[in-house]
Amino acid sequence: MKKYDVIAFDLDGTLTDPEQGLVDGFIYAFKKMGVTDYGDRASLRRFIGPSLYVVWQDEFGFNETTVVEAIEKFREYYNIYGWWDNKVYSGIVEMLSALKVAGKTLVLATSKPEGTAIKIMKLFGLDKYFDFMGGAAGDNRDHKWQVLEYSLKAVSADPSKAILVGDRIYDAEGAAKCGIDSLGVRWGHGSSDELESCGFTYLAETPEQVVDLLK
């Protein structure tokens, strides 16, 4: 296996499990927008990870104006109540600590708005392991590949020595677009079928296995 100097991490579904707060926020936004055919709570996990700006237009027929309104409604709830209704997956702190001890440069690359992502990282004390924390910033940096490119540039990463760790197809696609390898984790929100078919370079069952593969 190749040696990687820079390891980029997704946030939702990779480092933390945000399901409760996010799903509550989705439902709040749908009710405010008059959307009734969004499915049950379990099905709403499909919106954890991708850009809401993209997937909500595709799924609910929002236009460029109404999707922004829907996301604003979501944030009315999430920015006050939802962001802290979250938990760190077991083994994550030990994984990050081991990778830092091994001399790796760690960066965050999440489609969550950057300010909110940094608040979550600080809430759980994960920020101390990271050399840079990058997130979404509206139209100029909303897709996964745009955030990843931004975070890698911030640490002057050599793409041949960088890898992204994530849990959804959007992570695999974003890494491929940026010309880097990717590692899919099975404890997040991506199904086995999604993880095995979307092009991840490697797959890991546990945080401990991530360390074994990347240290």
Domains of the chain plus CATH, in order, are 6-17+87-214 (3.40.50.1000), 19-82 (1.10.150.240)
Q: 54: pLDDT confidence band, cut at 50, 70 and 90?
A: confident
Tens of pLDDT, residue by residue over 94-147, are 999 999 999 999 999 998 999 999 999 999 999 999 999 999 997 678 889 999
Q: Which of 10, 12, 17, 167 is catalytic?
A: 10
What is the radius of gyration, based on Cα positions, of the chain? 16
Tens of pLDDT, residue by residue over 151-200, are 999 999 999 999 999 999 999 999 999 999 999 999 999 999 999 999 99
pLDDT at 1: 80
Q: How far is CA 204 from CA 127, 188, 213, in A?
A: 23, 11, 8
Tokens for 160, please give them.
């041949």
What span, in angstroms and rounded, lies between the C-alpha atoms of 4 and 2? 6
What span, in angstroms and rounded, lies between the C-alpha atoms of 180 and 145? 11
Tokens for 71, please give them.
């996301």
pTM of the model: 0.88
Examine the residue annotation and report whether 10 is marked as an active-site residue of this protein. Answer: yes
pLDDT at 53: 87
Question: Is residue 4 classed as helix, strand or coil in its secondary structure?
Answer: coil
